[in-house]
Amino acid sequence: MRVAVGMSGGVDSSVCALLAKKSGYEVIGVTLRFHKEECLPYDKRLCCSPQDVKDAARVSNYLGIPHITLSWERIFEERVINYFIEESLSGKTPNPCAICNREVKTGFLAEYLNKVADIDKLITGHYAKIVEYKGKKLIQRARDVKRDQSYFLSLVKREHIDLLEFPLGDLTKEEVREIAKREGLPVWDKRDSQDVCFLMGKSPGEFLEERIGKREGYFYFDGESVGKHKGFYHYTIGQRKGLGVALGFPVYVCGIDAKNNAVFLCREEELYRDWLLLESINFHLELELWEKPKAQIRYRNEPVYVKDIQKTQEGYLITFEKPLRGITPGQVCAFYEDDILLGGGIIKE
């Protein structure tokens, strides 16, 4: 079988290439370059940079497999960075990593390589599994629950799952590093990249301010102005820290009006809702086969049982068995049955 390994230059994807070669596959390493900025060795703020390309090439050479680099800066800018900016400027809090997995580095890349290079599978270093469930190939949570990345794969198109393979699903991060060290991989001790790669260590608000400039406005509580803010794009639903507002009791962001550059504050109890509206659902498994689904509205949130799903003219109305705190437009809502990913969508309101 001919496989491509998406090699980021990090330890996870390097171990994937090693395991693929040991499995007897015909392996080629593929690295996507998203940034032209050079970074310091082992810089944890930036991935898919020239330094990571060099690291991926070093590992490929060490393993004796061919390696190619695709310079996809323009594709990444158009499909991920521009999406992030547009959604943020509409007052939402987008999830660029989930979009990137669908539009660039996972689903789209798998389809691209399958068509142009006759590659049977794309292997990536995601902590997740591909399993058989109800007669379908679906994604399952990884054994290492602290590293599980299935949530970020919920927007990947159903037809692309058949082209993917995740060898790290049954391994912990510690086991992966031990394999890399034992096998002498040159990046075995390289630190993980953190946060959104194109932010380069900045907060989303700092990144957006550099792009569009300062846009100071006002906070509102109970209809009254209670202070100035730095720009609506610096804030997200549920935020408490960094507001600079003293009302004698804790207040939280509960609404953003991008058009009027207004940020609305409330008490914590007003953050809870037992419903949300999705623009659409990306179904990995047909809805009629869902039995007792749970929904997860943020990466670190605990999933809760879904009470009802209704298709409306505005999208899919999801109601929960108990209220959730800080449901945020732009974020991803992923659906699970036990540990099986059923699909996901983007929160509209």
For residue 206, tell me if it sits in a domain: no
**Count of the separate structural domains present in the chain:** 3
48 a catalytic residue: no
Same domain, 69 and 194: yes
Q: Model confidence over 303-318: pLDDT tens digits?
A: 999 999 999 999 999 9
Q: Which of 47, 97, 197, 254 is catalytic?
A: 197
pTM above threshold 0.85? yes
CATH of the domain at 105: 3.40.50.620
Same domain, 119 and 229: no
Same domain, 96 and 234: no
For 232, the domain range is: 214-266
Mean pLDDT of 273-283: 94
For residue 209, tell me if it sits in a domain: no
pLDDT reading at 258 higher than 60: yes
Q: Which of 100, 254, 266, 333 is catalytic?
A: 100
Position with higher pLDDT, 51 vs 121: 121
Phi and psi at residue 30, in whole multiples of 5°? Answer: -125, 125
Q: Model confidence over 155-203: pLDDT tens digits?
A: 999 999 999 999 999 999 999 999 999 999 998 888 877 667 888 788 8
Same domain, 113 and 31: yes
Same domain, 317 and 236: no
Position with higher pLDDT, 228 vs 38: 228
Phi and psi at residue 50, in whole multiples of 5°? Answer: -55, -35
How many helical (H) and strand (E) elements, i.e. helices and strands, does the chain have? Answer: 9, 18
Same domain, 130 and 12: yes
Look at residue 243 and give its three-state secondary structure.
coil
Same domain, 78 and 162: yes
For residue 249, tell me if it sits in a domain: yes
Residue 199: its pLDDT value, please? 83
The H or E element containing residue 63 is helix 50-63
Cα–Cα distance, 91 to 349 (Å, whole number): 11
Q: Percentage of the chain with pLDDT > 90?
A: 84
30 and 59 Cβ atoms separated by less than 8 Å: no
Same domain, 170 and 24: yes
**What's the distance, CA 86 to chain centroid?**
17
Same domain, 147 and 15: yes
Same domain, 110 and 193: yes
Look at residue 79 and give its three-state secondary structure.
helix
CATH of the domain at 249: 2.30.30.280
Same domain, 306 and 237: no
Same domain, 169 and 299: no
Residues 6+ positions from 210 with CB-CB distance below 8 Å = 202
pLDDT reading at 39 higher than 90: no
197 a catalytic residue: yes
Cα–Cα distance, 36 to 49 (Å, whole number): 6
Residues 6+ positions from 301 with CB-CB distance below 8 Å = 324
